[in-house]
Amino acid sequence: MQAGQWNTKDRLRLALALNMHLDQMSTALEQVASLIGQVPVPDEREEGREEEEERRKTVAIARKLLARGESVEKDADLTGLPRADVQKLQTR
């Protein structure tokens, strides 16, 4: 689990762990099913916005590196952007 982010497997593991003391499997599974719905699911739109903002910041850094005379190869290496993307920034 990443900090503050729950995925389906994490929710299932938590629910099972909370119910391991039960002797009756059917009761445990019913409780697991009810607990899974109570764990918040992250808003995928918010995650998409965060990823886009991170990309914008990375592109801004890549532009600054190019403006300072860094090579496309070094820029791509430092920012993690694909070389082709950095080359496109260079021609703009």
Q: Is the pLDDT of residue 76 over 90?
A: yes
Which two tokens mark 64? 């600054």
Q: Give the tokens for residue 70.
A: 């860094």
* Tokens 């929710």, residue located: 11
User: What does DSSP assign to residue 40?
Assistant: P
pTM for the full predicted model: 0.51
CA distance 80 to 49: 19
pLDDT band at 8 (very low <50, low <70, confident <90, very high): confident
Residue partners of 61: CB distance under 8 A and separation at least 6:
78, 79
The amino acid present at 42, given as its one-letter code, is: P
pLDDT tens profile 28-58: 677 777 777 776 666 667 777 888 889 999 9
